[in-house]
Structure 1
Amino acid sequence: MTRWAVLGAGAWGTTFAQVLADSDAQVTVWARREEIADRIAAEHRNPDYLGDHELPRSVTATSRPEEALEGADAVAVAVPAQQLRATLGSFTSPLPAVPQLSLVKGIERGTDARVSEIIAEAGRVDPALVGVLSGPNLSAEILQRRPCGSVIAFPDAARAAAVAEACAAPYLRTYTSTDVTGVEIAGAVKNVIAIAVGAATGLGHGHNTTASLITRGLAEITRLGVALGGHRETFAGLAGMGDLVATCSSPLSRNHRLGLALGQGLDVEAAAERVGSTAEGVATARAVASLAERLGVDMPITRSVVAVVDDGARIDQVTAALLSRSVRPE
């Protein structure tokens, strides 16, 4: 896989383009905005998202999706979950019949669809070709080439291994899985839990509260993932616990920062403005709660986040309600 197309020129998509270039690939990024594509192509920079950071010379860009996809051996998808269906539907041709690697962590509102399902449906591509990447992937650290691990899951183990090998930059250790559902659910729902943890921190609670929410959050993620057919062991690994800890603990996490702002008294709109970029957990929370209700899965932390971001509940009331739940076996 020497030629990659990356769909999406935000911080994570552009950072992953660097990962691929550092893995000896030629990379073309598709940017919705022509001025971003032009800056990447001419100057190898994306100042709107990455400041003055210089990208490898093997990374170029275009605002024409057909140009980015032409001749690609693989495609990485980094369009926000709530925009993905419309974006792929606007393309004049189906996605090419090559591996499609989702970098997106979210669930679609209204359909409760996972991102891999959206790519297959809206991109008009065989679901067997669609995989996901997840793990502790704070893009600012990866951009600085800090060591980290990630999981790449495809339905077929051989395809997962081939794509993982193609993404193995010196600082990115890739592991493989065939549990697409489990890896994808772990990556999506951890954003919701990170909002709750950030809010608790903003309210002035300490490490005991944070540890409790992370641990019980992992239990929620696992219950939902297993109910959807995921493998329980997935949630104890990089895609589950690893990603959850990073997202809940780091000030680099958009979802953690948004929760922190909520805990400090801002409403959802003001908190999102402070964060200044997409926090997928806000839109994902309702979809996750809908999935859980349909499957009969108990997810009290998720329901609490929905009460705040969708229904206008006060964050301090929600936290009190979580801590006052009846005694039950763990």
Structure 2
Amino acid sequence: MNKKIAVLGAGSWGTALAILAARNGCQTLLWGHNPKHMALLTQDHENKRYLPGWIFPENLTITSDLADVSAFCNLVLVSVPSHAFKDTLIKLKTHLSNGLQIAWATKGFNPDNGSLLHEVVADIFSPQTPAALLSGPSFAAEVAAELPTAITIASSQPDFANHLADILHSERFRTYTNSDLIGVEVGGAVKNVMAIAAGIADGLGFGANTRAALITRGLNEIIRLGVKLGGRQETFMGLAGLGDLILTCTDNQSRNRRFGLALGQGKDTAAAIQEIDQEIEGISAAKETFLLAKKYGVDMPITEQTYKVLYEGLTPLAAVQNLLAREQKAES
């Protein structure tokens, strides 16, 4: 294979995707913003901080210089936190704009104004730029361990989605394509809010009944917002909707769920963040989702109570009581 891809973001997920592409025979460049961290990756041939135990293939190289990306290839897969997404693209544009093909595995909204990330890409580059999003139920460590995984690649350009799928697809990593960028983006962002809520409920000592109810009603909230923003309802019943929601709400590999667990167990926000020591996308997503729901008049009670816990000092137990005290209504 004479294929090349640059992965931007050397956290656990970006590293896992770079390893996956390299194992598939693709010449792969992994970029990170911290020169000291990238020097350690070069020295160790391993990301000991974020994805320990997985040695890099020989065709995976490391850099902290975006100029190296433009010299390497024009296919870029971005896996930085949502708050760094826009600035990373702006910096990338100074080095690489002509012929750029861009994909991202970032989940969240643009914190500046709550816009979706494909809108950020279109604003910085152009609406015609080949663009695609990776989403679905996938923990980085399990992808690195080559445990069977299935994800969605969403793009309005089928040829580009198929090209990216060809690079990433393997016997243990199955890729499905989808044309609903909005639905896949909303599902990937808001599921992190629901994972915090599910973690809070478990941290309070509630049981499987509560967790199942939160997941189900949380899915309804995601669908309501996603359809309002232009997504397709059936998308939310797939890998990037229900699949990712179940994963992050039920397994302690999820940082967002662990964060919620800590809050439910009585720890404050700062202590919980320090304990996890990695990006927790659901914190900012809770605020952005809450504001979008208010803007578009979408009823999202779980999101609202999670927002109030994180930003208004509401206690987790009071948030649950507020949800239970809501007026009785029909399910649909």
Normalising TM by the smaller chain, what interval? over 0.9
| C-alpha distance in 1 between matches for 2:220 and 2:211 | 14
Cross-structure match for 1:178 = 179
Q: Is residue 259 of structure 1 aligned with residue 271 of structure 2?
A: no
Q: How does 1:77-226 map to 2 (within 5 A)?
A: 77-91=78-92, 92-122=94-124, 124-126=125-127, 128-226=129-227
Percent of pairs with identical residues = 39
C-alpha RMSD over aligned residues: 1.5
Q: Is residue 286 of structure 1 aligned with residue 287 of structure 2?
A: yes
| C-alpha distance in 1 between matches for 2:82 and 2:57 | 27
Report deviation, 1:271.
1.0
Report deviation, 1:16.
0.6
Q: Is residue 299 of structure 1 aligned with residue 311 of structure 2?
A: no
The normalised TM-score by structure 1 is 0.96
- The structure-2 alpha-carbon separation of the partners of 1:20 and 1:302, relative to structure 1 and needing over 3 Å to count, comes to same
The one-letter amino acid paired with 1:49 is Y
Query: Structure 1, residues 142-196: CA drift from partner, whole Å, max 9, x if none?
Result: 1211101000011122221221122103211000000011011100000000000
Query: Structure 1, residues 76-130: CA drift from partner, whole Å, max 9, x if none?
Result: 00110012222332343344533211100111223101222223334x2445412
Cross-structure match for 1:68 = 69
Report deviation, 1:325.
1.0
Which secondary structure state, in structure 2, belongs to the residue aligned with residue 48 of structure 1? coil
1:132–1:154 CA contact under 8 A, matched in 2: yes
Query: Structure 1, residues 270-322: CA drift from partner, whole Å, max 9, x if none?
Result: 11111111110001111111111111111111111110111111111001111
Number of residue equivalences: 329
2:18–2:30 CA contact under 8 A, matched in 1: yes
2:70–2:96 CA contact under 8 A, matched in 1: no
| C-alpha distance in 2 between matches for 1:19 and 1:208 | 37
Report deviation, 1:37.
2.1
2:70–2:95 CA contact under 8 A, matched in 1: no
| C-alpha distance in 2 between matches for 1:237 and 1:207 | 22
The normalised TM-score by structure 2 is 0.95
Which secondary structure state, in structure 2, belongs to the residue aligned with residue 175 of structure 1? strand
Q: Is residue 44 of structure 1 aligned with residue 45 of structure 2?
A: yes
| C-alpha distance in 1 between matches for 2:121 and 2:38 | 23
Cross-structure match for 2:239 = 238
| C-alpha distance in 2 between matches for 1:326 and 1:181 | 31
Return 5+ residue gaps in structure 1 as ranges: none
Cross-structure match for 2:15 = 14
Return 5+ residue gaps in structure 2 as ranges: none
Query: Structure 1, residues 211-259: CA drift from partner, whole Å, max 9, x if none?
Result: 0000000000011111111111000011101000000000100000000
